[in-house]
Amino acid sequence: MSQVTLNVEGMSCGACVNKVEGNLGQLNGVESVKAQIPEGKVDVTFNENTINLADIKGAIQDTGYEIKEDADKEDGSACSCCS
């Protein structure tokens, strides 16, 4: 198993968390998902023999959120599921 923490932009409410956790949780090979709104982070535990990080990132982007590669968080990001 591998564990990664991704910086995700646009999550700001419970519906955002439900979308991200629900969509990632359905992927074959994803063991657990925990989204953290205040930090803008998503912790994912996955089986690297079944799914790769690029597929996980793609699923987050397909849900409507952006992966931020650096640790800096921009201010003023709107909730992408409510707008």
Residue with tokens 């599921």: 81
The total number of structural domains that make up the chain = 1
Beta partners for residue 44, in sequence order: 4, 33
Let me know: does 6 contact 57? Beta carbons within 8 Å: yes
| Interval 27-66: pLDDT, tens | 999 999 999 988 899 999 999 999 999 999 999 999 999 9
pTM score:
0.79
The whole-chain average pLDDT of the chain stands at 86
Can you give the pLDDT at residue 74? 42
Confirm whether 55 is domain-assigned.
Answer: yes
Q: Alpha-carbon distance 22 to 57, whole Å? A: 14
Mean pLDDT over 13-24 rounds to 93
Write the CB contacts of 22 (distance below 8 Å, at least 6 apart in sequence).
none
Let me know: does 33 contact 15? Beta carbons within 8 Å: no
Q: In what order do the strands lie in the sheet with 30-36?
A: 30-36, 41-46, 2-9, 66-68
* CATH code, 55: 3.30.70.100
